[in-house]
Structure 1
Amino acid sequence: MSAEYDMMVEDILGHLIAFPTICERSNEALIDWVESFLLALGARCERVPGAHTGRFNLLASIGPETPDGVILSAHSDVVPVEGQPWTTDPFHLTKHDNRLYGRGTSDMKGFLACMLVAARTAAALPDLKAPLHLVVSCDEEIGCVGVRSLLKELATRKFRARGSIIGEPTGLHVVSGHKGKLAARVICRGLAAHSANPDRGCNAILLAADVIGSIRALQQELLEKGVQDDAYEVPYSTMQVGLIQGGTALNIVPDYCELGFEMRFLPGVDPESWLDRLRQEAARLCDSIEHARVEVEVVNSYPGLHAPDNITFLRNIMQITGDNATGRIGFGTEGGLFSEYLDIPVVICGPGSIDRAHKADEFILDTELAAGVQFVSRVVEGLL
């Protein structure tokens, strides 16, 4: 890989990092820039609005309009930087030695930069036998929310491709599976009273504590009797409470308490059945406590991903990376949604490390970025 080629991808990454596309904010300026870049190459481009105003997905295609193309996909949004001890400007690409610092360098504007280099390569090849598709999505970081409108549109059109590569940072190792996620809000209601006479009220915080006990018991059951997959670092599905809020004053028996609850579930596990169990346990608690009520509301969910090892597309990508076996990851991606909506093979593979994501001084190595360019170039060669 020439130094000139490396600098081209670094220059593109610098432009992408300069757009502060923090999740739940507009990504329109970045989409404008990427679309202009791709239109100049002759790509066919289409925007599809996300779930919220000012956020957009972009689909671009280069090559013939045949059903056997390959999708390269990256989300455009990044997590916030407030409160983090950055030593560089997170929205200015800064290079020290062989590290490229900036919010999103690993997660996952580094792969987006590689995608744009791949588009430039594909546009220069007059004899592509299959198209290269690029998907740039929005609002991935808040639960894979934004891409659904695009995937729904493509499913309506019966869009087909031989497979999709979601370029989340995996160190360019092929990942064929990840867990799904369900996020829920548990609202516990009681009856307010003066704290001098607590028996005249119903303490919603104590009710919430009982619900947390039920969640712990269900988690233990998942550990001891649930589905297991040793390919994952945590080989079972998990439940946990990450947020709690309740009470107004120390001398008031609280009549309201809210829990933020999530489940990370293995592919093939039905989270709704466990959520039903939680609702049943909550109802049992309320039956024995006067004035107690518990509501469980699903806030967001997305499916896991599981690609069988004998899929041709998966094996072809493994030949490019040199992997002898595929991996599994605990964090979620848009891959399960691509598989569910489009019914095509999906692999997760991109440069950089997830261990650097969401932290201060996020970075990608220049050698990792160059390897990402080589990877997508090999994918484009497969379209000849």
Structure 2
Amino acid sequence: MVTMLTQNTREKVISLLERLISYNTVSDQSVLPMATFLAESAENMGFSVHTFETSAQKTNIIAQIGPQEDGVVFCGHMDVVPVDGQSWNTNPFKAHIEAKKVYGRGSCDMKGFFASTMVALNDLPLHQLKKGISLIWTHDEEIGCLGAEALVSQVKESDLVFPKTMLIGEPTELRICRMHGGHITLDVEIQGVPAHSSKPHLGCNSIEILGELIMALRQFQITLAEQPSPHPEMKCAHSLINLATVEGGTAVNILPERTKLRLGMRPMPGHSSKDMITKVEEILFSINKRFPQANLSSVLIQEAPPMVTPRGTLLEQHLNNILSTSSTIGVPFATDGGRLTDLGFTPLICGPGSIEQAHKANEFVSMNQLFESVELNRNLLQNWCF
């Protein structure tokens, strides 16, 4: 895609991205400074802004302009993943430009899309709109799409009307994605019986029971690997289990009484989140029967479902025309799209940057991708809403 952006527009999008990166919106921090800046920027362009607070430090933002019965929704998450333990060459919250790349936490995932969208909007005569534009900016996508989950309930209780077409700007290298995997967080607690380590027959070692559980989950993962997603775009990706964190034990001479395992599970399109959770519960029940002194239980912490948008939507046709392509892809990671379909949206994912750069030290987005995203968003809006 060849961009025709002026030098002034290129400087604007770089400058805006630099500012957005400067906001530390790691999920355990406040999102309000960035949300306030985005809300004020939208208001200055004539948008009506609605804020939906979920806590003292968290809010979702909806900005609307034009008749909302038809049009397009741009959606993204304001939060970013932590930088703790990562070896950055520069300050992750101060944009660094080198070799036609913008480095910084969130540059790729996904503040580059915010910058390209806002600059594209600023270049358009919004007073001439024939169809509506909505912006939905969420919080806490990175820890389970919690902002989107809250927003679904908040919007259902409001009188807001939206276009049903949605573009989510997660990093896809500007390829059109119509499906993605989900994500489930499940905590498993193993209650054993403490005893002196010289008398193990008097107790039940919860970490040993964890070993049984890990072997059973490993077998479940092998089974999942034999059942790839039925959708060709997923390229045989199969559902996944990640043994994420373990806590347990108190002293070297005490049989561990309690052990906790946090599981991350990723159901792929065509597979059921409910079925994966049910299978884990069946495994826990089986181990409970084999080791009656132990008690295994689970708590669902978070669930973001997979997303599948039908082929051939009008948005897909518009994007194909602009990008001169005819193909779509599927991705294994989750987005807010799986949750926001509960509001009747038909999302597609298409944004600047590569997921391979996300969540890593020295995260970056290339300037070319950033400029192409401005051009894409501007052309889409011109073709759709004017």
TM range, normalised to the smaller chain? over 0.9
Whether 1:366 and 2:367 are equivalent positions in the alignment is yes
Q: Does the 8 A contact of 1:174 with 1:321 survive in 2? A: no
Q: Give 1:69's aligned residue.
A: 71
Whether 1:53 and 2:56 are equivalent positions in the alignment is yes
Work out the CA distance in 1 between the residues paired with 2:254 and 2:235.
44
1:199, distance to aligned residue in structure 2 (A): 1.2
Distance 1:107 1:225, change over 3 A: closer
Distance 1:43 1:363, change over 3 A: same
Kindly provide the amino acid, as one letter, of the partner of residue 357 in structure 2: R
Whether 1:245 and 2:247 are equivalent positions in the alignment is yes
Distance 1:327 1:227, change over 3 A: closer
Work out the CA distance in 1 between the residues paired with 2:222 and 2:169.
34
1:345, distance to aligned residue in structure 2 (A): 1.3
Work out the CA distance in 2 between the residues paired with 1:361 and 1:225.
35
1:158, distance to aligned residue in structure 2 (A): 6.5
Whether 1:32 and 2:36 are equivalent positions in the alignment is yes
The aligned runs of 1:370-381 (5 Å cut-off) are 370-381=371-382
Kindly provide the amino acid, as one letter, of the partner of residue 378 in structure 2: S
Aligned partner (choices 5, 9, 12) of residue 5 of structure 1: 9
Q: Does the 8 A contact of 2:110 with 2:170 survive in 1? A: yes
Distance 1:241 1:230, change over 3 A: farther
Distance 1:75 1:225, change over 3 A: closer
Kindly provide the amino acid, as one letter, of the partner of residue 279 in structure 2: R
1:368, distance to aligned residue in structure 2 (A): 1.1
Q: Does the 8 A contact of 1:338 with 1:344 survive in 2? A: yes
1:59, distance to aligned residue in structure 2 (A): 0.8
Work out the CA distance in 2 between the residues paired with 1:363 and 1:274.
34
Distance 1:101 1:223, change over 3 A: closer
Q: Does the 8 A contact of 2:230 with 2:236 survive in 1? A: no
1:67, distance to aligned residue in structure 2 (A): 1.0
Work out the CA distance in 2 between the residues paired with 1:167 and 1:285.
43
Q: Give 1:220's aligned residue.
A: 222
The aligned runs of 1:151-170 (5 Å cut-off) are 151-156=152-157, 157=159, 159-170=161-172
Work out the CA distance in 1 between the residues paired with 2:312 and 2:266.
26
Q: Give 2:95's aligned residue.
A: 93
1:118, distance to aligned residue in structure 2 (A): 2.5
Work out the CA distance in 1 between the residues paired with 2:280 and 2:249.
23
Q: Give 2:335's aligned residue.
A: 333
Aligned partner (choices 51, 63, 79) of residue 81 of structure 2: 79
1:288, distance to aligned residue in structure 2 (A): 2.7
User: Secondary structure, in 3 states, of the residue corresponding to 2:142?
Assistant: coil
User: Secondary structure, in 3 states, of the residue corresponding to 1:141?
Assistant: helix
User: Secondary structure, in 3 states, of the residue corresponding to 1:278?
Assistant: helix
Kindly provide the amino acid, as one letter, of the partner of residue 367 in structure 2: D
Work out the CA distance in 2 between the residues paired with 1:359 and 1:234.
25
Work out the CA distance in 1 between the residues paired with 2:297 and 2:206.
12
User: Secondary structure, in 3 states, of the residue corresponding to 1:347?
Assistant: strand
- Deviation track 1:273-322 (CA, whole Å, cap 9, x = no partner) reads 33223222322222232421000111111111111212222222222222
1:198, distance to aligned residue in structure 2 (A): 0.8
Q: Equivalent pairs: percent with the same residue? A: 29
Q: What stretches of structure 2 of length at least 5 have no aligned partner?
A: none
- Between stretches 36-45 and 148-157, larger displacement belongs to 148-157
Kindly provide the amino acid, as one letter, of the partner of residue 354 in structure 1: I
Work out the CA distance in 1 between the residues paired with 2:100 and 2:229.
43
- Between stretches 168-177 and 75-84, larger displacement belongs to 75-84
Q: Does the 8 A contact of 2:188 with 2:296 survive in 1? A: yes
Q: Does the 8 A contact of 1:233 with 1:330 survive in 2? A: no
Work out the CA distance in 1 between the residues paired with 2:216 and 2:304.
24
Count of matched residue positions in the alignment of Structure 1 and Structure 2: 380
- Between stretches 178-187 and 146-155, larger displacement belongs to 146-155
1:234, distance to aligned residue in structure 2 (A): 5.3
1:233, distance to aligned residue in structure 2 (A): 4.9
Work out the CA distance in 2 between the residues paired with 1:310 and 1:210.
47
Work out the CA distance in 2 between the residues paired with 1:375 and 1:249.
59
User: Secondary structure, in 3 states, of the residue corresponding to 1:252?
Assistant: coil
Q: Does the 8 A contact of 2:237 with 2:332 survive in 1? A: no
1:225, distance to aligned residue in structure 2 (A): 4.9
Q: Does the 8 A contact of 2:39 with 2:49 survive in 1? A: yes
Kindly provide the amino acid, as one letter, of the partner of residue 58 in structure 1: I
Kindly provide the amino acid, as one letter, of the partner of residue 29 in structure 1: P
User: Secondary structure, in 3 states, of the residue corresponding to 2:362?
Assistant: coil
Q: Does the 8 A contact of 2:172 with 2:349 survive in 1? A: yes
Kindly provide the amino acid, as one letter, of the partner of residue 18 in structure 1: S
- Deviation track 1:67-123 (CA, whole Å, cap 9, x = no partner) reads 11201111111111122111112111221231111111111100001121133134x
Q: Give 2:123's aligned residue.
A: 121
Q: Does the 8 A contact of 1:214 with 1:278 survive in 2? A: no
Q: TM-score, normalised by structure 2?
A: 0.94
User: Secondary structure, in 3 states, of the residue corresponding to 1:87?
Assistant: coil
Q: What stretches of structure 1 of length at least 5 have no aligned partner?
A: none
Q: Give 1:236's aligned residue.
A: 238
Work out the CA distance in 2 between the residues paired with 1:182 and 1:383.
37
Aligned partner (choices 17, 21, 25) of residue 21 of structure 2: 17
Q: Does the 8 A contact of 1:111 with 1:351 survive in 2? A: yes
Work out the CA distance in 1 between the residues paired with 2:51 and 2:231.
39
